[in-house]
Amino acid sequence: MKQPNICPKFEQAISLLSKRWTGLVIYQLLNGTQRFNELQSAIGVSGKVLSDRLKDLEQQGIVHREVIPDTPVIIQYSLTTKGQSMQSIIQSIESWSQDWIKPE
């Protein structure tokens, strides 16, 4: 056993990002506040899983959910400070992908 235990903070961060769609939701919200349907059609995820992910992320303090009592009601999702701080991660993935992923 070379590494009997991996840093739990790192492990938690990785497990967050290892969930399908998490990265794209954050990426999308880095462009600003968005509504449920906007997110759904922008990233092509099912309503069910988007709903799950947004709950996860809200619970982790990464996403903020705001109910605006317009009619019909508007629900806006945005990143908290913690969520915005993940831009550094998204950036590094983005720049790596530009350098190393070949087209088609």
39: which residues sit within 8 A by CB, 6+ positions away? 25, 28, 29, 45, 50, 54, 77
Question: Is the peptide bond preceding residue 103 cis, with omega within 30 degrees of 0?
Answer: no
Q: Kindly list the distances between the CA atom of residue 14 and the CA atoms of 17, 18, 22, in Å, as whole numbers in the listed order.
A: 5, 6, 11
Residues belonging to the chain: 104
Residue 23: CB minimum distance to a second copy, A: 4
Tokens matching residue 70: 């317009």
Contact segment (CB under 7 A) with DNA among 4-12, 23-31, 35-43, 87-95 equals 35-43
Residue 58: CB minimum distance to a second copy, A: 15
Question: Which of 12, 51, 85, 92 is close enough to bind DNA by CB under 7 A?
Answer: 51
Residues in contact with DNA by CB under 7 A are 19-21, 35-38, 45-49, 51-52, 54, 65, 71-76
Residues in contact with a second copy by CB under 8 A are 1-4, 6-14, 17-24, 27-28, 31, 34, 38, 41-43, 82, 85-86, 88-89, 91-101, 103
